[in-house]
Structure 1
Amino acid sequence: MAWDEWEQLKASAAERESSRMQLNGLPPEDRPNAGNPQGDLQVHQKDLAAIGDHAFKLYNRLWKDARVTSTDSAGTDLASQGFALGQALQHVSTRWDKQLGSVMDACALISNHMDFTRNAHAGDEIFIERHVSSIHTLDAGFDEDWAKRGEKNEIYGTKPTKGKD
């Protein structure tokens, strides 16, 4: 293969490579937070705790106020008397209980997840703090300034003097 042919193949390969679609990211001008490397999303422990607390309170309120047990008994009573309204009321009550259960499950999931997230981030914070402090301790061990400037470090001992006993 001649040198010119090799250069031509390299140029055509580079041209094909530059015209290919890249799926590994957006160009900086198309990213909304390109100037901010950490992004716009920030979550603080106080925010997580507030969300979890609201979800927990909503769950308790739904448990206390949204369950309607009297509707079931009224539907059963009306159905036993031959009213079609009784079966309709029982159907509505059953659907209400299912939907209420779904909302309560979602509240419990949110509350539990916020507690988990808060604890996980606290654990991460402790891990990072320990890791950084251990680096500091290790770094102090490599400090060359154990002896005053101009003096020998005692750790290496003293040189024996020649000719003296």
Structure 2
Amino acid sequence: MAWDEWEQIKTEAAARGSARTDLEQLPSDEPGGTPAGAVSGELRSDKRAWVTAGEGVTGLKSGIGKALTTLEEGQAGLGDPAGCRSAAAQKELYESWKKYAGEVRRRCEALGGLLERAGHDLSKSDAAVKEELDGLTARYRDTAPVGGQTKGK
């Protein structure tokens, strides 16, 4: 993805505004306050903020999709890299970035969907939401770096 495309994506995301969640509870040192670590009946969450955050993360998919298309179009004229080390290295790099960007795109879709669902159904416990987030972390581990490594040659 070209740097100017990345800057455009960030600008568009900033233009959509930020999602905000307000957490309010009585101070624990005042009469009627909640003891440390206890649940407060005054906890509030804006469901729309969760949905907006999810839509924003899911919306990153389109920018990544455009970048993948541009990457593929740029690769189209390479031809057979046999006999040319730089062409072979460029093809390897292309395949690596295509895979990585595809995984990032899928991660945005999964995380965005999770945030949107949390906005629609805030009855889940913190533990249940954390379990889903941990599942995403396990599923979308970052790939090991590929450039500059010898391959036994």
TM bracket, shorter-chain basis: 0.3 to 0.5
By relative contact order (CA 8 Å, sep 6+), the higher-ranking structure is: 2
Q: Which has the larger radius of gyration?
A: 1
TM-score by length of 2: 0.47
TM-score by length of 1: 0.44
